[in-house]
Amino acid sequence: MPTTRFQIGDTVMGRWPGSNLYYEVKVLSYDNKTRLYTVIYKDGTELELKESDITSLTIFKQGVSRSRSRSRSRSPGRPRRSRSRSPARTSRQSSSRTTDVRKEKLKEALEVRLTPVPVTHENNSNSKHEKKEENNTANTASTITEEKTETESENQAGGRYNLRRRKDQGDGKTIELEQKTEAETLPQTKPPTASAIKTTDLEFGGRVGVFFLMFLLPVAVLALLILCGQKDASLQSFPLELPALQSLWDCQVFGIVLLWLLFQAVLSLLPVGKLVEGMPLKNGKTLKYRINGFYALLLTAVAVGVAMYQEVDLSYIHVHFLQFYTSALLIVTLLSIYLFIRSCWASEDELAPGGNSGYIIYDFFMGRELNPRIKNFDIKFFCEMRPGLMGWVLINFAMLQAEMKHQNLENPSPAMLLVNIFQLLWVVDGFWHEEKLLTMMDIVYDGFGFMLTFGDLAFVPFTFTCQAYYLVSHPNELSAFWIITLITMNGVGYYIFRKANSQKFAFRKNPSDPAVSHLKTIPTATGESLIVSGLWGWVRHPNYLGDIIMGLAWSLPCGFNHLIPYFYLIYLITLLVHRNARDERQCRKKYGSAWDEYCKAVPYRIFPGIY
């Protein structure tokens, strides 16, 4: 390797992809064509790195000792600056003496364990200062965490990180471990550069696969709704002739759907609820999101109450259900076209890693732009949470009204009540934890194209309601035993789902949180650990398991006469098994051998006993 900076066999510091953490690595080879070094980490992980992601050991060590001496020379009695992301945190900080003491202790502890590492790079222009982070890795490594620059490689790796975790310690408060003046003098890592995105790993069977899916999905949902509304809902009784056009289209219905979207959009823009920052983007910036879904749900409930008081008949939705679906489908199509066209003007920074293959159909389906916004209105975040999820609850309630009307009941049937209550609980839970959606793959990684638009605006409200729709014309008596069994099943599912999600979220935010600090973990080379006990030590995706148990409890009230009400369960298992595989691929890429170790310790994916 005559022209390279590093030679085979050199021990150098290599950046861990997806982070700004540097580890000791050995250079194994250099590829002249790709200009990539193959390096091996101490845990045996081999990776290819760019020259800019490698730095020499001597520069690193000089940096370490320089900043160590800086650290030592700081007067121990001098109060250190602490930085808080939100004013709320600042006030909490100043009001709590005990927390301050605890924080100081923690800070001291961290200072002993951590190594501030100045890294010299050619382009050290980023003015953001560095922060040290807890090093709990198997490899001893010097770490440098720069708030913004991490996102570049994270996004490329398709990973999702909770960067705040690295700054939040103790009671979720932010501790800045270096003084600002000091940190500013430290050499900085390279700022993210806008590299051209090109999606090469095509999902869903590539261009051909998504082409068929784009037609198949809307048709399959239409078929499901037709069957679900028929007296005989068996697959064999599917009508062979196409439904008449007027049974599929109604201008008034289209107007109602538009009004619904507008109403929800207005609610989402109300200046109530907190403003939170999303995950850092590739360009280092973060977007702000208004978290007011729970208020919007309450206001929607009030609006529906007022409408019912004005004698609006909600069973209209049941009568015109197919027309509501086709109206939603038209909006999905128009919105997807708009999203695709506007993405042509989006900068490289704004593109999603998964939807930029260069193939029009594929990119239209997957979504090119990551966070399409009109001023402060985030179209993806809005569609993911609002019209579809609220619509689901409203449609369920309309079906409950329709059931009473159709079957001349004074009260809704227990089956209908259970379906309504179970699903309402799930939706309320979603809005209560709305902020957590910001760290999910759908927001951080996936582009917003036909797939998510269809999923959010058509699939969720029209297929997730399929049990309630079915019950209107297929009554099912439930014994007290069944009612208790179903309530227990939903409760168990919900407990697993919520506990697993909250545990992971709390752990990612602050591993020393007393609620999760007792959990056993496997350290990984990135500095983040994997929980290996409790629910996360039982199966690798306990939250999916909980969701599936709930899905079963939502379908069983419809009885065993037909397969149709089990559609949600079948969809959920398929989606979560696919999502699990996708997630595991990304985790293996991100955590390397530590992930394999986790898989060995916890061999079951979603279902206990099933590998």
Ligand X SMILES: NC(=O)C1=CN([C@@H]2O[C@H](COP(=O)(O)OP(=O)(O)OC[C@H]3O[C@@H](n4cnc5c(N)ncnc54)[C@H](OP(=O)(O)O)[C@@H]3O)[C@@H](O)[C@H]2O)C=CC1
Ligand Y SMILES: CC(C)=CCC[C@@H](C)[C@H]1CC=C2C3=C(CC[C@@]21C)[C@@]1(C)CC[C@H](O)C(C)(C)[C@@H]1CC3
- State the residues that interact with ligand Y by CB under 6 A: 217, 384-385, 389, 429-430, 437, 440, 442, 451, 454-456, 459-460
154 forms part of the interface with ligand X (CB under 6 A): no
**Partner in contact with 474, chosen from ligand X, ligand Y, none, beta carbon below 5 to 8 Å by kind:** none
Beta-carbon count within 10 A of 255 CB: 11
In the region spanning residues 586 to 605, those forming contacts with ligand X, defined by CB under 6 A, are 586-587
In whole angstroms, how far apart are CA 488 and each of 423, 430, 476, 481, 552?
Answer: 15, 20, 19, 11, 12
Query: Rounded CA gap, 373 and 155, in Å?
Result: 19
Q: Least Å distance between CB 590 and ligand X?
A: 6
Closer to ligand X by Cβ: residue 153 or 501: 501
- The one of ligand X, ligand Y, none whose footprint includes residue 605, by CB under 5 to 8 A per kind, is none
- Alpha-carbon span 355 to 197, nearest angstrom: 9
Q: Could you tell me which residues come within 8 angstroms of residue 334 by beta carbon, excluding any fewer than 6 positions away?
A: none
Contact pick of 318, 504, 562, 605 for ligand X (by CB under 6 A): 504
CB nearer to ligand Y: pick between 41 and 469: 469
Give the nearer residue to ligand X in terms of CB position, either 157 or 297.
157
Residues 70-109 that bind ligand X (CB under 6 A): none
Q: Which residues of 310-323 are buried (b: 16+ CB within 10 A; e: fewer)?
A: eeeebbbbbebbbb
Half-sphere exposure of 79 (CA within 13 A, CB side): 6
E strands, 223-284, in order: 274-277
- Which among 108, 152, 127 is positioned nearest to 18, based on CA atoms? 152
Cα angle value 122/125/131 (rounded, 5°): 100
In whole angstroms, how close is the CB of 293 to ligand X at the nearest point? 15
* Cα–Cα distance for residue pair 337/327, rounded to 1 Å: 16
For position 541 contacting ligand X by CB under 6 A, the verdict is: yes
Q: 543 is in the binding site of which of ligand X, ligand Y, none (Cβ under 5 to 8 A by kind)? A: ligand X
- Cα distance between residue 544 and residue 52, in whole Å: 39
Quick one: which segment of 128-136, 239-247, 488-496, 524-532 binds ligand X (CB under 6 A)? 524-532
Minimum CB distance to ligand Y, residue 328 (Å): 13
Instruction: Report the partner that residue 504 touches, choosing among ligand Y, ligand X, none (CB closer than 5 to 8 A by kind).
Output: ligand X
From ligand X, ligand Y, none, which one binds at residue 160 (CB under 5 to 8 Å depending on kind)? ligand X
For residue 575, state whether it binds ligand X (rule: CB under 6 A): yes
Q: Which does 159 bind (CB under 5 to 8 A by kind): ligand Y, ligand X, none?
A: ligand X
Question: Which of ligand Y, ligand X, none interacts with 382 (beta carbon under 5 to 8 A by kind)?
Answer: none
Site membership for ligand X, residue 530 (CB under 6 A): yes
Nearer to ligand Y, 314 or 438 (CB): 438
- Cβ distance to ligand X smaller for residue 403 or 528: 528
**What does the block give as tokens for 368?**
């090119």
Q: Quote the tokens at residue 169.
A: 């310690």
Q: Strand 530-531 and strand 521-522: pairing?
A: antiparallel
Cα separations (Å) of 327 from 217, 313, 395, 587? 15, 20, 15, 39
Q: Contact between 572 and ligand X (CB under 6 A)?
A: yes
Residue 522, beta-bridge partner list: 530
583 binds, among ligand Y, ligand X, none (CB under 5 to 8 A by kind): ligand X
324 touches ligand X (CB under 6 A): no
Please count the CA atoms within 13 angstroms of the CA of 581 that sit on its side-chain side.
7
Q: Is 21 in the site for ligand X (CB under 6 A)?
A: no
Q: Residue from 55, 142, 188, 501 that binds ligand X (CB under 6 A)?
A: 501
15 or 166: whose CB is closer to ligand X? 166
Per-residue binding string, ligand X, 434-473, x by CB under 6 A, is: ------xx--------------------------------
By CB under 6 A, residue 30 contacts ligand X: no
Give the range of 59-67, 184-192, 220-228, 538-546 binding ligand X by CB under 6 A.
538-546
CB-nearer residue toward ligand Y: 314 or 332:
332
Residue 384 interface partner, choices ligand Y, ligand X, none, CB cut-off 5-8 Å depending on type? ligand Y
Question: How far is residue 510's CA from residue 133's CA, in Å, rounded to a whole number?
Answer: 12
Cα 598 to Cα 603: distance, rounded to the nearest angstrom: 8
Interaction between residue 164 and ligand X (CB under 6 A): no
- CB-based burial, 545-574: b 16+ in 10 Å, e otherwise: bbbbbbbbbbbbbbbeebebbbbbbebbbe
C-alpha 96/C-alpha 64 separation (Å) is 34
If one asks whether residue 544 binds ligand X (CB under 6 A), the answer comes out as yes
- The closest of 533, 539, 531, 530 to 604, measured between CA atoms, is 539
Please report, as a single letter, which amino acid is at residue 270.
L
Which one of ligand Y, ligand X, none interacts with residue 430, CB within 5 to 8 A by kind? ligand Y
**161 is in the binding site of which of ligand X, ligand Y, none (Cβ under 5 to 8 A by kind)?**
ligand X
Give the residue with the Cβ less far from ligand X, 93 or 490. 490
Q: Say which residue the tokens 């749900």 belong to.
A: 297
Q: Does 392 bind ligand X (CB under 6 A)?
A: no
Residue 583, interface with ligand X (CB under 6 A)?
yes
The piece of 335-343, 412-420, 481-489, 504-512 that touches ligand X (CB under 6 A) is 504-512
Q: Binding of ligand X at residue 508 (CB under 6 A)? A: yes
**Separation in Å, CA 388 to CA 366, 391, 461, 503, 611:** 19, 5, 5, 27, 34
Residue among 98, 361, 313 at smallest CA distance from 208: 361
Is residue 567 a contact point for ligand X (CB under 6 A)?
A: no
Q: Which of 319, 338, 322, 324 is nearest to 260 (CA)?
A: 324
Of ligand X, ligand Y, none, which one does residue 456 interact with (CB within 5 to 8 Å by kind)? Answer: ligand Y
Residue 508 contact partner, candidates ligand Y, ligand X, none, CB within 5 to 8 A by sort of partner: ligand X
Residues that bind ligand X (CB under 6 A): 159-161, 440-441, 497, 501, 504, 507-508, 528, 530-531, 536, 541, 543-544, 547, 572, 575, 579, 583, 586-587
